[in-house]
Structures are given as structure tokens and as C-alpha cells.
Amino acid sequence: MLNYNNLLDKQLKALIEGNKKQAWSICERLEKINPNDFRHQFNRGWFLINQGKLQEGYQLLDAGRFINVYGSGRIKTDKPIWNGVKTLKNKVVILNLEGGLGDQVIKARFAKDIKERGGKCISCCCKSLHSLISRIDGVSSCISVEDIEKTKHDYWIPSFSAVWLLGHDFTTLPNKPYISAAKSNIENWSKIISSEKLKVGIRWAGNPQFEHQQYRKFDASLMLDLAKIDGIQFYSLQKDNDIIELPKTINDLNHLLLSWEDTAAAIENLDLVITSCTSIAHVASAMGKPTWVIVPILPYHIWAFGDEHSPWYQNTTRVFRQVKFGNWDAPFKNIKNKLIEF
């Protein structure tokens, strides 16, 4: 008989390779053996989200905090985490935006929930996102982690837990556009992104430091091959890593994207964004820009429920899913066909 840790490893391998039925069977076995194990609870949370059970799933994902695979840990404050029950009327709440830049953008939407409950939301996020997030409805101001101790507040909310603390299910998730580019920047970028053709932004790789990033990665040539389609002007949104030499048919914006304000303004001037699961996917989706996201067989929890669309965003965001482990031909064939239709 396989021991407990071996079962966990076998379950993860099955998930990564797309054997979801086998992985769920192992999950049910583990639930009988040790339902309180944090690693098991975290993995089971993904399954429940995949099955459409948002509340139960995200509560279980919180178990990942105890094994350092989820969220960003506690912040320096003596104030309690809001429990989802006490009134927020006239209360000041720090929404601590956790994880990578994309994660912070995803969860920043919940500032509006706090505002609608009568509270004042202070968003704590990376400085590079301050100006972008400060324009979100419900955000009174933005601070960084080092500012928390000197910021007066009544409660705080770790953003990865916000979705279930606020009582949402997949039918009530706020998914209307909530991020906007600065008007002056939009006008400036209209001179850079200017074409009579369909204007499409592309990004093929995200931050290599994130867990399982290697499974999201595909050969950049698959994306560059799209530039052979007539009637489209492509613009590269790739920055910082995986920079490659581009064909002359693709405009490289790498050296012009100096801030997130630049990126948002560039996106606003595009007709469509095609990207792997990156922060660009979430900024473009949160802006309401038509966005096509390419995800692996084992997708990030945001893409775990739904088929062509995710309830986290309106139908302007479309999900192209890997069909066979290690092979990206099917989603890119689908993208080519849809591009011609688009």
C-alpha cells in the first residue's frame, strides 16, 4: 500500500498530466485517511472549486497558508482579521493584496464590496500598482506593507480569503470591468499603437519564480507563428524575462512599458490581448478588454471552474485550455481559427 505522502505526490502528478478522475479518486481516499492534513485540504480545495463549490473550495485553499504555498502570511498589526459577520459600517479595513502582481489585481475588486457594506477600504499592494489600483471603485487609498503599522484601521482582510469571507459564490462574483487606464496616457499610446489592421497584444511567459510555472510555459514560436495571419498587427507585451528576438512583423513594446500605467494605456489601445496565465491576463481582463488566456491542464484556481469563460471575468475573457499534457497544439490551433473569425 502506498504511504500517505506517496499518495499526495501521485495525486499531484495525475492532476498535472490531466488524469482528473484518478486524482479525485486519490483525493477521496486521502479524505478518509487524514482529512485534517493541510496539504490534502489545499489540494481538495482546488477540486471543489473545479466542481463549482466556491465557498467550500476557497476555505480549504486557506490551509495552504500553514504550509507556505498560499497567500503572503500575517501583516504587522494588532487588529483582527474581519470575520465576515461583523458590520463594516464606518470601519476602516486594510485589504492586504497578496501574492504576485496578477493576484493583487484579481483581488483588488473586493474594495467595492467593502465600500458597499459601509466601510472604508485601504488597499495594501506593491508600489508599482498604486496608481492603477487607486482608481478602483471603493479604494480610498493605497499603501505598502511597510506603511501598515502607522495606518489607522479597525480590521484587515487577507485578499486570498476575501472571496469567501464576503460570502460570494460563482453567481455573485463581481466580474464587471474595474480597472482603467489614465486618459492622458491612452492618448499618448494611441500614437504608438496605431494601425488600420486588427491590433493584437501578445505575451508568452510569466514570472518563472511562481510554483508550477514550468507547466504554463509553451514555446514562444507558437505565439509568434500567429503573426503569419494576414490583417493583424501584433505588439509584444513581454517584459523582464523570456525576451527573444522578434520578427519585423511584431512591434516590440518592451522598452516602452516603463510602468503599469504604460501597460494599461497600451492595452486600452489594442483590440485584443492573447497571453499565457500572467499578470497581463488579469489587468486586460479587469479592464474589460477582449482577452484570450492560454492555460495548462492543471490551471490556476482562477481558471479552475468554467469552460471557455471564467466567472471571475465577463465573457470578454476567453480561456483556451491545454488538452494533452506537454502538447500545446490544440489550443493554438483553436486560437488561429478564432483569430480569423475575430
Q: What is the pLDDT of residues 12-58, one digit of tens each?
A: 999 999 999 999 999 999 999 999 999 999 999 999 999 999 999 99
CB atoms within 10 A of CB 200: 23
**Amino acid letter, 290:** P
pLDDT of residue 2: 66
| pTM for this prediction | 0.94
241 pLDDT tier (thresholds 50, 70, 90): confident
Dihedral of the alpha carbons of 227, 285, 322, 56, in degrees to the nearest 10: 180
Same domain, 19 and 61: yes
Of 134, 165, 196, the last residue of a domain is 165
Quick check: is 246 in a domain? yes
C-alpha closest to that of 316 among 178, 187, 196, 192: 178
Check residue 214 and give its pLDDT.
Answer: 56
Q: Which residues pair with 157 in a beta bridge?
A: 95
155 and 39 together in one domain: no
Phi/psi class of residue 288: alpha, beta or left (left: φ > 0; alpha: ψ in -120 to 50)? left
- pLDDT tens-digit map of 149-201: 999 999 999 999 999 999 999 999 999 999 999 999 999 999 999 999 999 99
Give the span between the Cα atoms of 258 and 305, in whole angstroms: 34
324 is in which domain, residue-wise?
183-341
The verdict on residue 248 lying in a domain is yes
DSSP-H helix ranges across the chain: 4-16, 20-33, 38-50, 54-61, 101-107, 111-116, 130-134, 159-165, 183-189, 213-216, 220-224, 260-268, 279-286, 329-341
Domain total of the chain: 3
Query: Do 307 and 189 share a structural domain?
Result: yes
- Cα–Cα distance, 312 to 318 (Å, whole number): 11
* Whether residue 161 is found in the same domain as residue 187: no
Confidence bin at 1 (pLDDT 50/70/90): very low
Is residue 174, in this structure, part of any structural domain at all? Answer: no
> Domain boundary residue among 67, 83, 113?
67
322 pLDDT higher than 80: yes
Q: Distance (Å, rounded) from C-alpha 331 to C-alpha 295?
A: 9
With respect to residue 13, please indicate whether it lies within any of the assigned structural domains. yes
Residue type, 58: Y
Residues 198 and 161 in one domain: no
Q: What is the mean pLDDT of residues 234-250?
A: 87
- The band of 206, judged by pLDDT with boundaries at 50, 70 and 90, is confident
Name the DSSP class of 82: P
In a domain, 142, yes or no: yes
pLDDT digits (tens, 9 = 90+) for 252-283: 999 999 999 999 999 999 999 999 999 999 99
Q: Is the pLDDT of residue 240 over 90?
A: no
Contact between residue 291 and residue 272 where contact means Cβ atoms under 8 Å apart: yes
Question: Residues 133, 244: one domain?
Answer: no
Average pLDDT, the chain: 94
Residue 121 within a domain: yes
